Amino acid sequence: MSETDFRRLGLGHVRAWVFDLDNTLYPASSSLFPQIDVRMRQFIAGRLSLSLDDAFRLQKSYYRDYGTTLRGLMLVHGIEPEDFLDYVHDIDHTVLDVAPALDAALARLPGRRLIFTNGSERHAVNVMERLGIASRFEGIFDIVAADFIPKPQPECYQAMVKRFGIDADASAMVEDIHRNLKPACDIGMTTVWVRQENHPDAALIGHPEEELPYVHHVTDDLVAWLQAVV
């Protein structure tokens, strides 16, 4: 695609591409994230002596109210974040399919490519290596780097921009959760929402029909969208 075409799509200024990890770089229909969901429930039930049903309700309540389940567990119960992250990310990454089309599209994407995740760096590396795309990214900003302040809290976006030394006005952010794009838009980033009807948390994040002013591009297929823009 020519520079003129990039400008037409509002992308000609983009020099850094910031990608979320889970349910963004791989489809939400994958059986990877449901494993994490189950592990979170089990961790909460064990640590707080709750039934699995009560643990599930608490898990989703904290996710809705605090941005991540972990943040709620830390603030309300004093849970050590390392214990939680080690437990919930001890999963089978081989359920992910190698993604040569995604790898090729990322390789052709102009500018820097970065990961911004509410998960751990180790989990991000495992996912990227399984997908076959690890070499396409130069850095990972995980929940530890964010001092356990998760998206969509504005502080972690500022910290991410500072860590990587990028210009928000010349950057794009790609996310599966639209509410996480508002703070990115607020600091000047171009935003891309990977909307998926089968998202595991669709009931919480919602798929509004109305136009969202902080979402600049919407796609149901990240690979196809990247192929179209590059």
Q: For residue range 103-140, list pLDDT tens digits in order.
A: 999 999 999 999 999 999 999 999 999 999 999 999 99
Same domain, 58 and 15: no
Task: Quote the CA–CA distance of 159 and 127 in Å, as a whole number.
Answer: 23
Of 199, 153, 187, 140, give the one whose Cα is nearest residue 20: 140
The per-residue pLDDT for 8 is 47
Three state DSSP letters for 2-50: CHHHHHHCCCCCCCEEEECCCCCCCCCCCCCHHHHHHHHHHHHHHHHCC
Same domain, 24 and 38: no
Same domain, 42 and 101: no
| Parallel, antiparallel or unpaired: strands 190-194 and 16-19 | unpaired
Same domain, 184 and 138: yes
Same domain, 67 and 180: no
Of 67, 90, 70, give the one whose Cα is nearest residue 80: 70
The DSSP secondary-structure symbol of 125 reads H
Same domain, 70 and 171: no
Average confidence (pLDDT) over 26-47: 94
Same domain, 101 and 180: yes
Structural domain ending residue among the three candidates 88, 114, 130: 88
The per-residue pLDDT for 211 is 76
129-133, 167-171, 193-197: the lowest-pLDDT one: 193-197
Q: What is the mean pLDDT of the chain?
A: 91
Same domain, 9 and 101: yes
Structural domain ending residue among the three candidates 88, 115, 133: 88
The per-residue pLDDT for 216 is 94
pLDDT higher than 90, residue 9:
no
* pLDDT tens per residue across span 49-102: 999 999 999 999 999 899 899 999 999 999 999 999 999 999 999 999 999 999
Task: Quote the CA–CA distance of 145 and 47 in Å, as a whole number.
Answer: 25
Residue 115: φ, ψ to 5°: -110, 135
Domain enclosing residue 45, as ranges = 33-88
Q: CATH no. for residue 178?
A: 3.40.50.1000
* pLDDT tens per residue across span 204-230: 555 565 678 999 999 999 999 999 987
Task: Quote the CA–CA distance of 105 and 76 in Å, as a whole number.
Answer: 42
* pLDDT tens per residue across span 15-33: 999 999 999 999 988 889 9
Buried b (16+ CB within 10 A) or exposed e, 62-93: bbeebbbbbbbbbeeeebebeebbebbbebeb
Same domain, 12 and 46: no
Same domain, 149 and 196: yes
51: buried, middle or exposed (CB in 10 Å: 19+, 13-18, 0-12)? exposed
pLDDT band at 201 (very low <50, low <70, confident <90, very high): low
* Structural tokens at position 52: 């699995």
Same domain, 125 and 200: yes
pLDDT band at 196 (very low <50, low <70, confident <90, very high): confident
- Residues contacting residue 54 through CB under 8 Å, at least 6 positions apart: 45
Give the CA count within 13 Å in the CB-facing half-sphere of 110: 12
Same domain, 112 and 165: yes
The fraction of the chain above a pLDDT of 90, given in percent, is: 82
In the chain, DSSP assigns E strands to 16-19, 112-116, 139-141, 171-175, 190-194, 217-219
What is the number of domains present in the chain?
2
CB 192 within 8 A of CB 225: yes
Task: Quote the CA–CA distance of 161 and 204 in Å, as a whole number.
Answer: 27
Residue 84: φ, ψ to 5°: -65, -50
Q: CATH no. for residue 39?
A: 1.10.150.450
